[in-house]
Structure 1
Amino acid sequence: MKLRLPSGMSKAINAAVAQRVAEEMAARNQGAPANGQKANGQGKVDFRHAIGVRVKSLYVNSPLNQVPAALRDAVNKAASMYEGVYGQGGSLLKEEYSSEIIPLLRPRAVLLRAGAIVQPFTGKMNIGRLNGGAVAAFVKEGGSVTPATYSTDAVILDGHKIMALADPSNDMLRNPDIDSAGIITDDLMSAIAVVVDAKGFLGDGSGANPKGIVKLLATDQKVTGTAITSANALVVIARLNSMQQKVKASNLPFEGNAPFWAFNSRTEFALRGLRDNAGYIFNDEMNQGRLQGHPFFSTENVPDGYIFFGLATQLYFGLERGTGEGGTPEITMGAPDFKNDLTSFKAVMKCDWKLKYDTAFSYASDFTYS
């Protein structure tokens, strides 16, 4: 029996497909790179849409799901626009596109927003690090300078697997509005970003977890916290100054290295509430998004009591591209939950955090509140 859509729904599908096709043709006529690129004025792939459409395509083409042929054709037409960015049967982004998911993670990942360096890799990647430098000294005529002794080691990026599960309703998956696919992408990427960010700060390296900043730092980069109260304001300022001094004392310049603060909302509003006889100490500056001259990021991925200060460009976020043709993330569909009218989707990617230098950050873990 051939299923037919109501005329209103069919018109909506046809209109959506026609618009997408028109955009794609316009992009090609303007000389934009082929397949998978949306006419957005810059010829870039809309990965939020591409991933979401791929999820819908997996759903409508599953033999477990009986969907109208017109809907399946519409979704497949939309998915075909992005076939150039997928490999290995359509579940993996091609290797050259793997890092394009970073903008989808950034809104919920403070460390990426702050400016951590994204480094794609395959398998493992060694990044050389020089632990010595040139030597200079004033000498008498005929004198000599003791030659520099160079020592090196490696920062090694390795793949730690992270998996996200999303259970969109089948109503959303059957929705003829192709653009709604982006909502599914948001759910998957937000879930990954929150965990990636939290482990970037506090990952302990146990099990499948990567090591985060706390475990990657030299032990003397930790500062003792204090009570964040107005009566204790001078001590709070001294502790914040100490955190900056520890990083600057390592001869890593702040200029060009994206210095920033990170803490959670409870700490943020405790700092905002500090007063002296002249009024609020930090609040006006924090209204401009800065603390002691540097940007701050407030995130619940940092626990109570913690404050971080560091140089974002000295932190690497390694994103494994996979092997052969396929990169990450890999997106697959599970069995439908017919009882609750849901379908599970899984996104898997491999990533890692590493510091180029173990003095590029400082932190405290024991600030308290009134």
Structure 2
Amino acid sequence: MTREQIAEMVKALGPEVARELVDSANRSAPGRAGPDTTTRDGSVLTSVENFGAFTKSVVAATCRTGAIALTDAVKRFGNADVQKAVQLSKFDSAGVLVPIQRSGEVIEFLRPDAALLKLGVRTQPFKGELHLGKQTGTTTFKWVGEGETVPKSAPTYGMIVLKAHKGMVLTDISNDLLRTPGVGDAGVGEDIRATVADGLDDAGFNGDGTGSSPKGLFAQISSSHTFTNTGTTAAAYTADIDKAVELPLTAHIRMGTPGWVLHPTRATALMQLKDSGIFVFRQEMLDKGTIRGFPFVLTTRVPVTRITFSADWRQFIYGIDEDLLLSEHDTRAEYDETTIRAIVKGDFKLRQPKAFSSITY
């Protein structure tokens, strides 16, 4: 389009509306200029007629802001060129109208469904690779007599490295479902959030570092802080729980955000435990939400065979390299379906492995 043609469009629509429409068209995949700055063939900006059809489609779709609504409107108002341009990449061509694109606050986006985040782990944004220092040893205190010398001591330090691991969700969604009130983009976004949170929790607890997966908690916890239960009697359960709390404290880990994480089935076993006919843990767990005075989080992402404690969950580094990116792709138009893709990059590291302890059953 020439400047004169755009000026005529501005006169008809008003400057603010026209500017928004032109920006939308420019940001669309078929609207962007090619490497030689020329307008691509089939672009909505190729002609006044194409841009006019695009404008009518946007106006018709504004009450239902979404790629599906725009595509439907284009079928009514757009000519063949415009329909082809918008269909090239639904998310890119109508991305400015789609409410689920990118979650800049990815931690808040995932928090309602992520057990690790409920435990109070430390979240750390990074790009590509991040080196964090950690203290591995302390100075030594010693009493001395007159004329005696004190051997020098110094704190020692190590390094932990966060590296980006990429996780994805890919699913085909019926366009009829996307158009359904109460589901649509928002419903799909909620489902993907829960799926991504579940995947990150699974890796954060159980990841073994093989292939492209990161290492999780159980692959990094100090071997001296993992022990087998001594029995299933009330006395044995109590002694094991006490030992799990004691191990991080005797390793000189300061209390920060302490707490337990366990499988719901293991929690049920604790609540059913009796000593001389009296429940040992039940009332505390139900009334206060604690075990031995420390809060607990239930999740099926941890094995039913473990009860895990940390004196400070902030020693668990939950690194996110890239914001959660959601995109729509019209790759299954013949089935009237849209392919939804979600990508997130992250890594997990224990700053102090001895801040954690785990009982296996």
Taking structure 1 as the reference length, the TM-score comes to: 0.69
Q: Is the 8 A contact 1:166 1:188 kept in 2?
A: no
Q: Tell me which amino acid in the other structure corresponds to 2:280.
A: I
Q: Tell me the distance in 2 between the aligned counterparts of 1:66 and 1:191.
A: 32
Change (3 A) 1:145 1:266: same
Shift of 1:171: 2.6
Q: Tell me the distance in 2 between the aligned counterparts of 1:209 and 1:282.
A: 37
Shift of 1:337: 4.2
Shift of 1:67: 5.8
Q: After alignment, is 300-309 or 329-338 more displaced?
A: 329-338
1:299 aligns with 2:299: yes
Q: Secondary structure at the match of 1:148?
A: coil
Q: Tell me which amino acid in the other structure corresponds to 1:243.
A: A
Shift of 1:238: 0.9
Superposed counterparts of 1:332-347, under 5 Å: 332-337=327-332, 341-347=336-342
Q: Which consecutive aligned stretches of 4+ in structure 1 deviate over 3 angstroms post-superposition?
A: 56-63, 65-70, 78-83, 90-93, 141-144, 166-169, 334-342
Superposed counterparts of 1:233-272, under 5 Å: 233-254=234-255, 257-272=256-271
Which residue of 2 is the match for residue 42 of structure 1?
none
1:164 aligns with 2:176: no
Q: Tell me which amino acid in the other structure corresponds to 1:284.
A: Q
Shift of 1:155: 1.0
Structure with a larger share of its residues in helix: 2
Gaps of 5+ in 2: 1-61, 79-85
Change (3 A) 1:176 1:296: closer
Q: Secondary structure at the match of 2:228?
A: coil
Q: Tell me which amino acid in the other structure corresponds to 2:350.
A: L
Q: Secondary structure at the match of 1:359?
A: helix
1:137 aligns with 2:154: no
Q: Tell me the distance in 2 between the aligned counterparts of 1:340 and 1:112.
A: 38
Matched residue count: 284
Q: Secondary structure at the match of 2:211?
A: coil
Q: Secondary structure at the match of 2:353?
A: coil
Q: After alignment, is 219-228 or 168-177 more displaced?
A: 168-177
> Over residues 58-101 of structure 1, what are the superposed CA-to-partner deviations in whole Å (9 max), with x where a residue is unaligned?
445569x966669x9xx99x975899xxxxxx9555xxx3xx12
Alignment root-mean-square deviation, CA: 3.1
Shift of 1:186: 1.1
For the pair shown, the structure with the greater C-alpha radius of gyration is 2
Which residue of 2 is the match for residue 33 of structure 1?
none
Q: Tell me which amino acid in the other structure corresponds to 2:202.
A: A
Q: Is the 8 A contact 1:262 1:299 kept in 2?
A: yes
Which residue of 2 is the match for residue 289 of structure 1?
289
Q: Is the 8 A contact 1:59 1:333 kept in 2?
A: no
Which residue of 2 is the match for residue 201 of structure 1?
205
Q: Is the 8 A contact 1:165 1:188 kept in 2?
A: no
Q: Which has the higher contact order (CA 8 A, sep 6+)?
A: 1
Gaps of 5+ in 1: 1-52, 84-89, 322-327
